[in-house]
Amino acid sequence: MDLTEREIAQDLLMMEKQLNQSYDQTESYCANRQLRQAIRRMHAEGDELYSRLFHTMHQKGWIQTPVAGQQEIESAILYWEQQTVKQPELGGEHPHEP
């Protein structure tokens, strides 16, 4: 069975997404600072690859993204602002970083 370029790209995107989720979880639970930094670098490289692949697929019309209205944008901002007040750890700080 021959896969199309689109199918291969979709598989790669899914694999990168899963890999990045694994990096994220591993980084969160890593007690060794040097190992955590190495995982963080790999995670950043994976994020970059995912982003480039996503944008390429979007440009080719293989991924459709809905356009959010102003009310949806404001609701999302308000939601995340409230979440960071309720759960300060969502503010992007890594409490285990010295």
Distance CA 76, CA 55 (A): 22
In a domain, 96, yes or no: no
In a domain, 53, yes or no: yes
pTM: 0.65
Segments forming the whole domain that contains residue 56: 5-91
pLDDT tens, 84-93? 888 777 676 5
Above pLDDT 90, what percent of the chain?
70
pLDDT tens, 52-84? 999 999 999 999 988 889 999 999 999 988 888
Distance CA 70, CA 5 (A): 35
Domain count, the chain: 1
In a domain, 98, yes or no: no
